[in-house]
Amino acid sequence: MKCITISQLNNWKINQYKFAAITAYDFSFAKLFSNQGIPVILVGDSLGMTIQGNSSTLSVKIKDIEYHTKAVRKGAPNTFLISDLPFMSYYETKQALSNTAKIMRCGANMIKIEGGRWLTEIIKELSSRLILVCGHIGLTPQSFNYFSGYKIQGKNKHDANKLIDEAFVLEEAGIKMLVLECIPKKIAKKITENLSIPVIGIGAGKYTDGQILVMQDLLGITEENTPTFAKNFLAESNSIQEAVKKYIQEVQTNVFPNIKHSF
């Protein structure tokens, strides 16, 4: 795979070419995903649950993201690599800049932060230093206590309008990509069509520019707790490699996600 850049992802949006992304946390899986043609990998703070075995992402620290970012970058040298800034690692600008520098030095192309309007000044400061920032709105796992669990967001008109407004505000502040999680597909469609940056969905329907899944969900490892928006691609494949290829193909052809995986 040739090196994937933000310019290429922007071109894919313009040309309506849908792309698949996945989480990864180690060298071996990163290499496997890259070899099958996955263009975007996220070192997510979901590792707090999938790797560390905790009940939420709140336990993850910067040193954890640094460690896993280094491993994933070695396995996927040409993939566009996004790394999460974990809980309370970007609550003010100076701290956000310091922690972003640590992650970028480990090989990340872009950092991802969760939240809406309150992030505006932090995003502006990061962007002014030519750092690529990915926003994340809708269900934001770092705020699961506030939301009383992992629930669909934007179900009523007020909340839907708030999500749309936050998407515009974040783009104006300088984000270069946006993740929408667990929101109704019609809202995701409106946001995607009105932003000039790539929009990736997870539980946000088929209208986003790209899709992302947690690797353990895609492979059926989290069988007892698989989210309704996820799909076990390994169940209908003969190998992990085949499952990943099928995922990529179904995203590109708009087969996944279908109505069953949408709200």
Q: How confident is the chain (263 residues) per 10-residue block, as mean pLDDT?
A: 95 98 98 98 97 94 98 98 97 96 98 96 97 96 74 85 97 98 96 98 97 97 82 96 98 93 84
* 192 located within any domain: yes
Residue pair 19/252 in contact (Cβ under 8 Å)? The answer is: yes
CA 117 and chain centroid, separation: 19
* 85 located within any domain: yes
Residue pair 104/63 in contact (Cβ under 8 Å)? The answer is: no
* 1 located within any domain: no
Residue pair 62/103 in contact (Cβ under 8 Å)? The answer is: yes
CATH of the domain at 219: 3.20.20.60
Residues 109, 48: Cα–Cα separation, whole Å: 21
| 125 annotated to a ligand binding site | no
| 262 annotated to a ligand binding site | no
* 136 located within any domain: yes
Options 66, 125, 181, 250, the catalytic residue: 181
Residues 6+ away with beta carbon under 8 Å from 132: 6, 109, 110, 111, 176, 177
Task: Identify residue 50 by its one-letter amino acid code.
Answer: T
| 172 annotated to a ligand binding site | no
Residues 221, 162: Cα–Cα separation, whole Å: 35
* 40 located within any domain: yes
Q: Which domain holds residue 226?
A: 6-261
Is 224 a known active-site residue? no
| 84 annotated to a ligand binding site | yes
Note the pLDDT of residue 149: 62
Note the pLDDT of residue 78: 98
What's the total number of domains in the chain? 1
Task: Identify residue 21 by its one-letter amino acid code.
Answer: A
H or E segment and range at residue 117: none
Note the pLDDT of residue 228: 86
Alpha carbon of 163 to those of 114, 180, 253: distances in Å? 13, 9, 27
